[in-house]
């Protein structure tokens, strides 16, 4: 991809197949499409969630999801980025930067006091990206899985 016009917009129902594909790449596993579509449709209708897509040459080239909660220990609204992905062929075009900037704009409008993101320990490029976007590494995450 060369210098193409990038459009950032809210995700729609019709974006599901692209996002499903992105999630499978991001997580390096397959997911039941019907179940994931049900979750996706529920999530994009939830006013506490922000789902954005990046469009390049009329194709979905990236997406970001952020879930917002009103948390006691922050005394306000916190947005947590759940997933973010840019297609390999479009990396380096500034899509991630534009997705984050649009999220920051929406967060300010919604009076969200802080954005957070958790990134797999192996994703060092992602860590550098988030640091360059103004995120600070302040926590460790602990996980307890029930289905493995």
Sequence ranges of the domains in the chain: 6-132
Helix (H, G, I), strand (E, B) or coil at 19: helix
Q: What is the mean pLDDT of residues 33-56?
A: 97
pLDDT in tens, 90-102: 999 999 999 999 9
Q: What's residue 60's pLDDT?
A: 98
Between CA 102 and CA 134, with CA 55 as vertex, the angle to 5 degrees is 30
Report residue 89 as tokens: 């062929």
Considering the segment(s) 6-132 as one domain, its CATH architecture is 3-Layer(aba) Sandwich (3.40)
Q: What does residue 111 show for φ and ψ, rounded to 5 degrees? A: 60, 35
Between CA 45 and CA 53, with CA 49 as vertex, the angle to 5 degrees is 85
Sign of CA dihedral 48, 135, 90, 106: positive
Entry pTM = 0.92
């Amino acid at each position: 991809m060369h210098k193409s016009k990038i459009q950032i917009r809210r995700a729609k129902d019709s974006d599901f197949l692209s996002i499903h594909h992105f999630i499978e790449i991001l997580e390096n596993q397959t997911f039941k499409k019907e179940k994931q579509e049900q979750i996706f449709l529920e999530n994009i209708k939830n006013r506490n969630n922000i789902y954005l897509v990046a469009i390049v040459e009329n194709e979905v080239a990236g997406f970001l999801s952020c879930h917002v909660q009103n948390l006691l220990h922050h005394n306000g609204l916190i947005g947590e980025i759940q997933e973010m992905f840019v297609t390999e062929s479009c990396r380096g075009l500034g899509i991630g930067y534009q997705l984050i900037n649009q999220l920051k704009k929406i967060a300010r409008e919604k009076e969200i006091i802080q954005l957070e993101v958790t990134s797999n320990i192996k994703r060092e490029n992602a860590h550098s990206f988030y640091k360059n976007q103004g995120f600070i590494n302040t926590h460790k995450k602990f996980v307890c899985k029930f289905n493995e």
